[in-house]
Amino acid sequence: MSETARGVVIAHGGLASALVAEVARIGGEAANLVPVSNNECGPEDIERRIADAVGDRPAVLFVDMPCGSCFFGAMRVAKGRSDVRVVTGVNLPMLLDFVHHSSLPPADGAARAVGKGSEAIRQG
Amino acid sequence: MSIVLYRIDDRLVHGQVVVGWGKPLNVRFIVLVDDTVAASEWERELYRMGVPAEIDLYFAGVSEAARQLPGWRAERRNGIVLTGDIATMLALADAAPPIERVNLGGIHHRPGRSQRLPYVYLSDEELQLLEALAKRGAEVTAQDLPNMAPVALELLR
């Protein structure tokens, strides 16, 4: 059985903490999700925060926007690590699904998250 | 004038630049002036991923940017020239004058810097570089977003 992947949610301001809190509130479980904020961060600071949150475990990095310091920091941390993947456009449905599929290899977990997150975007 | 903003921001391309300034200024190209980024295909590709398709992103080291600036200034499209530090903007001002206005965006905390604004930390040496920019004719102000009031260099001392 593969090692459980950590989900690191990286977003502007208080968004990451709010998303993780709501995953716990809605789904009852968010133990393998870690929020990271870019508050007061220069580029080196956010990269360090992300690296600390990832540690040496496999991880999927969920970023709010495909632009900016959160995204660039995540990509730098993932560079050269086959056990770390980056997903942009984080939303609640993909996180709610991820917490129940974190035993997937990060590449599969990231692909699944993109699918689940995309499925949730609809026009009413 | 087609270069509508010369900005110093240690985060380089990010939401405040692309959306915050880019939308109201109708920016269609960004010139990222950074020797390290310009020399690295991985870095260039990374920053390309962060810019929407309707905005062209150009990369140049200081000397290449100085050569190309007259052409960028003559563009009919609006553009932003972006550096990650003050020294690079000063080198560009020396190599390709005039730069009439310089916008300080985010310069974050590092050892040796002290806080001047919530988003601007400067060492004494960096303050001297900004004053050198001002002596070359640039109006230097700190302003993270267009809807915020610009803060004059004198107030950052």
Strand partners, B103: B7, B141
Residue-number span of the structural domain to which A27 is assigned: 6-119
**How many distinct structural domains can be found in chain A?**
1
Interval B9-53: pLDDT, tens: 999 999 899 999 999 999 999 999 999 999 999 999 999 998 999
Residue among A48, A69, A71, A86 with most chain B CBs within 10 A, to mutate: A69
Chain B environment of A64 (Cβ under 8 Å): none
Residue B124 in this model has a pLDDT that exceeds 60: yes
Interval A36-75: pLDDT, tens: 999 988 889 999 999 999 999 999 999 999 988 999 999 9
Longest dimension (CA), chain A: 42
Residue A124 lies in a domain: no
Could you give the domains of chain B? 3-156 (3.40.35.10)
Q: Inter-chain contact B50–A40, Cβ cutoff 8 Å?
A: no
Arithmetic mean of pLDDT over chain B: 96
Residue among B49, B104, B144 with most chain A CBs within 10 A, to mutate: B49
What integer is the mean pLDDT of B108-133? 96
What integer is the mean pLDDT of A97-106? 95
Residue A45 lies in a domain: yes
* pLDDT (0 to 100) of residue A2: 63
Whether residue A53 contacts residue A7, with contact meaning beta carbons closer than 8 Å, is answered with: no
Interval B136-146: pLDDT, tens: 999 999 999 99
Distance CA A101, CA B48 (A): 31
State pTM to two decimals: 0.90
Chain B environment of A89 (Cβ under 8 Å): none
* pLDDT (0 to 100) of residue B22: 95
